[in-house]
Structure 1
Amino acid sequence: MGAEVEAQSYTREQRQRYREKVRQDLDVFERMLTTQQFEFERPMTGLEIELNLVDGDYQPHFANAETLAAIADPGFQTELARYNIELNVPPRPLPGDSALELEEELRTSLNAAEAKAEEVGSSIVAIGILPTIMPEHFTGEWISENNRYTALNDSIFVARGEDIHLDIEGPTGERVSQYCDSIGPESACTSVQLHLQVTPAEFAQHWNAAQALVAPQLALAANSPFLFGRRLHAETRIELFSQATDSRPVEFKNQGVRPRVFFGERWITSIFDLFEENSRYFPALLAETTDEDPLAKFEAGEAPSLDELRLHNGTVYRWNRPIYDTAGGRPHLRVENRVLPAGPTIADTLANAAFYYGAIRMLAHDDRPVWTKMSFSAAEENFRECARLGIDARLYWPGYGEIGADELVLRHLLPMAHQGLTEWGVSQAVRDRFLGIIEQRARLGVNGATWQTAAVEAFEARGEDRRTALTHMVQRYAEHMHTNEPVHTWPVP
């Protein structure tokens, strides 16, 4: 959910002081990259899963405070809207059977949480965008009781000076076009975040590889085809998140001011490039300062927290975000991959993770890496196309030219993922289990988005209107989700 803050609004003096602290943190961080020892004895991975709460009629249930109290597990936390919660998974190494053990742990945890949630009338659904969410759901008390979210909402609207205009048209011609007086629709975007710990020297190559990989990731894992009753992009979450958190008025867009949901502009040579870009181009949304003297801590041989730099970084929404953090008094760096939607099942989620961790290892260490053979603008165009069309998308890839996303995965990226996981020391059982799911998705052309679309079409063919069809689809989806059978095996109703 991001770090909590003390205030819901800030004075001009607080904002000025905050900017000064961010610059001070950035200067210290630059020195740390060349002199400090960063933790990397055992490369760690991490996972966060955002979830939706529905009531007995499969409509959004605005009761996360009551649900979290019933679950009573610190691994589950609040999220932006009252129908959202988040599951945080402690970092762990990749090798061996770790992923199989994690699958069992997550299913056990989710089953226990579901049982407790039902006691207060909630049920948990992991899905990119909850198909039954509608504009009217954001007219009441929708936002979670958390200063961070209120401050973000207010800061974005102060910066914009006007309501947000959502305008998204899908490939079939269905369209959402409406104004919103809050960032409430952003809460519809529930995602999975994958963390990978890297050294400072290898950060740039891992980030560049991750940027190239987001397009096939989306094509395989798309799970957000419906918003406000309309069939839009295969992964509508990408465009919705971009528009719903846009702090720019129209005139700033016309001037080319960068959006806060930011793919980026270029391949990088250092993690410092990204943090410097953040501080140079993006004004603060949250302006909390601490008493830490980062330079004094650094010169004393300690790892500074760099709280202001980290807080600011958390309000620039890159699809691959750089992370600086400390644990046990030692600093470390992570690439946070934020492109994937939640769901459909834990098995699908871990399959997506296995594909990512395996492929990125090989892409990052290639003798002639993909980003030296492909323009950054081509990578972004791939990203947009795969978000729009999902597993049916075609994209550009060096050595293959224009190629179907499914074919690229089967011919090139899946074998690469197998090899990468092998080099990580991941067991054959893990590779067979989770990369086998990826292979079947690509062969059958089925992911969460295609199943949702086919299910709704089937219900509508029986005479149901769109809202009824969406409700029945979410009901079937939730039933399948809790079996943990991967989505490519689900029958269409």
Structure 2
Amino acid sequence: MGQDVDRTRFSRRDSQRYRGKVHRCLDALAAMLREHPFAQDEPMTGIELELNLVDRQLEPALSGADVLAAIGSAGFQSELGRWNIELNLPPRLLPGDEWRHLEHQLLDELAAAGAKARDCASQIVMIGVLPTLGRGHLVPGSLSDGDRYRVLNEQILNTRGEPIRIDITGAQPSGRPDVAPERLTADFDSIIPEAACTSMQLHLQVSPEAFAGYWNAAQCLAGVQLAVGANSPFLLDAQLWAETRIPLFEQACDVRTPELRNQGVRPRVWFGERWINSILDLFAENSRYFPSLVPVAEEVDPLAELEAGRVPVLDELRLHNGTIWRWNRPVYDVVDEAPHVRVENRVLPAGPSVVDMVANALLFYGLLRVFVEAERPLWSTMSFEAAEQNFITAARHGLDEPLYWPGTGWIHPDELILRKLLPLAHEGLARWGVSSAVRDRYLSVIERRCALRRTGSSWQLDAVAALEARGADRPAALRGMLQRYVEASTANEPVQAWPLPT
């Protein structure tokens, strides 16, 4: 939830009024989709990158506010945990060499922010889940200051009515049927475990008419994205999923008791349940299935604004949407009095390096273009349930378990990418106008990653195993791994080139 709030207490009437305003916003949006022009610029892309701060011992550094003050840039913002900050890059086009320039911009921004962080006895780490987090860090006092974080925490806990339960059983270690999976079970008195999840969020502005196709294609690709981009195998000293961030985020923001889950009540961190025909389908589901968490209703009537010839901001609809964490989320926004809609892809973790993240982004954007423009859409040949199962399988196992793909059947994701998807990604990026040099640079990173079967997650697992084989216990091995991780990440080498401890 990125919007600020100016209230911390709500009445029953507040919730009732807020629901009515959300429905007014939906009616206004429906009218706009029928009759009102939306931004017609070339499709714009954007990146939000969540970052961790650690101290000299590589423990979480609760210095986010101090680091942000030292950075002094509106591009950096606070996040839920005091050891988190977020970098928002300005929107940009895809064509030409833009994304090579974006790599340099990211490196420059992170280097400058890293220097300010060091002045605060901290350093920045890009990783899906910080492996040196301990239970002592996951306490209410580690929540960032600010009403929006306090309100969100209180409302989720009040709605749930009991502590946040994290219960994750790890994946079976590859090739080790004799080794039992590890399991983590813990209760927390706040939503602070959600702050352990740091991601790279990709935005793509599209026309309202094209939105459904792009969202459906993004859902099809979610499993592939996770398999090749996993970077979060450890949490609280336990080896769990290839992308542990997925079940952790789902459980940390779950307002349902076990009884409500058993009744089939939908989770607020949600993959979804069907293909869509319009962006309105998703916003309508949000209002139909999910009660308010932060029922702040403004005085402005969106339908009256529309009738007066003004573009409504749709405050309540946007606020409500910000408290439902779909892995591919719809976004409505207004810039310079022109409305637009975006697909927000929230699937990928942060890291391992800047070049890795740019490669992950361009694989996504290239494949989206091809699948949206295909004569027979991919989602017409794949069930929604298969797409969701791919997502879960990839989050749990990374490259180690096959996914289902139309026309192919069951296939390991590295083989799927090498045999089928990389040529399509090249074609899609070419359609966007991306230069051949940029396509070759970043898609070759994906190609080598798949050929060597080396993701951020697998590198972390192998590095920890090597250190444990040398006699280190798990906490020491995680710290030793993270030290090597930070050095390689800062050098901006793709993860498949990172050395392992010897």
The TM-score, its normalising length taken from structure 2, stands at 0.97
- AA matched with 1:43: P
* 1:386-438 superposed Cα distances (whole Å, 9 cap, x missing partner): 00000222110000000010011111111111000000000011101111101
Q: Pairwise mapping of residues 4-153 of structure 1 onto structure 2 (< 5 A)?
A: 4-139=4-139, 141-153=141-153
Which region of structure 1 is more displaced relative to structure 2, 288-297 or 249-258?
Answer: 288-297
2:251 equivalent to 1:262: no
Q: Pairwise mapping of residues 114-263 of structure 1 onto structure 2 (< 5 A)?
A: 114-139=114-139, 141-172=141-172, 173-263=181-271
2:481 equivalent to 1:464: no
2:386 equivalent to 1:378: yes
Structure 2: distance between partners of 1:204 and 1:102:
27
Structure 2: distance between partners of 1:72 and 1:127:
23
Which region of structure 1 is more displaced relative to structure 2, 126-135 or 166-175?
Answer: 166-175
Partner of 1:417: 425
SS at match of 1:2: coil
- AA matched with 1:399: G
Q: Is the Cα contact below 8 Å between 1:155 and 1:285 reproduced in 2?
A: yes
Q: Is the Cα contact below 8 Å between 2:140 and 2:189 reproduced in 1?
A: no
Q: Is the Cα contact below 8 Å between 2:139 and 2:188 reproduced in 1?
A: no
Structure 1: distance between partners of 2:392 and 2:15:
34
How many corresponding residue pairs? 493
- AA matched with 1:337: N
Q: Is the Cα contact below 8 Å between 2:139 and 2:189 reproduced in 1?
A: no
1:300 Cα deviation from its structure 2 partner: 2.3
Q: Is the Cα contact below 8 Å between 2:53 and 2:123 reproduced in 1?
A: yes
Match among 313, 324, 328 for residue 305 of structure 1: 313
Structure 1: distance between partners of 2:71 and 2:418:
41
- AA matched with 2:278: S
- AA matched with 2:368: I
Structure 2: distance between partners of 1:85 and 1:393:
33
Partner of 2:176: none
Match among 323, 330, 340 for residue 331 of structure 2: 323
SS at match of 1:50: strand
Q: How has the CA–CA distance of structure 1 residues 140 and 381 changed in structure 2, closer, same or farther, with 3 Å as cutoff?
A: closer
Which region of structure 1 is more displaced relative to structure 2, 299-308 or 270-279?
Answer: 299-308
Identity %: 56
- AA matched with 2:396: R
Partner of 2:175: none
* 1:262-283 superposed Cα distances (whole Å, 9 cap, x missing partner): 1101000110000000001001
Structure 2: distance between partners of 1:140 and 1:315:
20
SS at match of 2:142: coil
Q: Pairwise mapping of residues 400-439 of structure 1 onto structure 2 (< 5 A)?
A: 400-439=408-447
Q: Is the Cα contact below 8 Å between 2:286 and 2:321 reproduced in 1?
A: yes
SS at match of 1:334: strand
- AA matched with 1:170: G
1:140 Cα deviation from its structure 2 partner: 5.6
Q: Is the Cα contact below 8 Å between 1:40 and 1:197 reproduced in 2?
A: no
- AA matched with 2:51: L
Partner of 1:394: 402
Provide structure 1 residue ranges, at least 5 long, that are not aligned to the other structure: none
Structure 2: distance between partners of 1:149 and 1:489:
39
Structure 2: distance between partners of 1:145 and 1:94:
36
Structure 1: distance between partners of 2:146 and 2:489:
29
Q: Is the Cα contact below 8 Å between 1:355 and 1:435 reproduced in 2?
A: yes
Structure 2: distance between partners of 1:184 and 1:9:
20
Q: Is the Cα contact below 8 Å between 1:52 and 1:124 reproduced in 2?
A: yes
CA RMSD of aligned residues (A): 0.9
SS at match of 1:124: strand
SS at match of 1:145: coil
Structure 1: distance between partners of 2:198 and 2:481:
18
- AA matched with 1:400: T
Structure 1: distance between partners of 2:336 and 2:7:
28
Structure 2: distance between partners of 1:486 and 1:73:
28
- AA matched with 1:405: P
Partner of 2:367: 359
- AA matched with 2:480: H
1:138 Cα deviation from its structure 2 partner: 2.0
Q: Is the Cα contact below 8 Å between 2:46 and 2:203 reproduced in 1?
A: yes
Structure 2: distance between partners of 1:422 and 1:142:
45
* 1:92-141 superposed Cα distances (whole Å, 9 cap, x missing partner): 11100000111111101100100111001110000000000111112361
1:370 Cα deviation from its structure 2 partner: 1.1
* 1:66-115 superposed Cα distances (whole Å, 9 cap, x missing partner): 01111111111100000000000010111000001111111011001001
- AA matched with 1:179: D
Provide structure 2 residue ranges, at least 5 long, that are not aligned to the other structure: 173-180
- AA matched with 2:245: R
2:496 equivalent to 1:491: no
Partner of 1:344: 352
1:301 Cα deviation from its structure 2 partner: 2.3
- AA matched with 1:285: L
Q: Is the Cα contact below 8 Å between 1:248 and 1:259 reproduced in 2?
A: yes
1:295 Cα deviation from its structure 2 partner: 1.0
* 1:227-277 superposed Cα distances (whole Å, 9 cap, x missing partner): 000000000000000011000111111110000011101000110000000
1:163 Cα deviation from its structure 2 partner: 1.0
Structure 2: distance between partners of 1:412 and 1:308:
43
1:2 Cα deviation from its structure 2 partner: 0.4
Partner of 2:484: 476
SS at match of 1:233: coil
- AA matched with 1:122: S
- AA matched with 2:485: Y
Structure 2: distance between partners of 1:140 and 1:306:
32
Structure 2: distance between partners of 1:371 and 1:138:
40
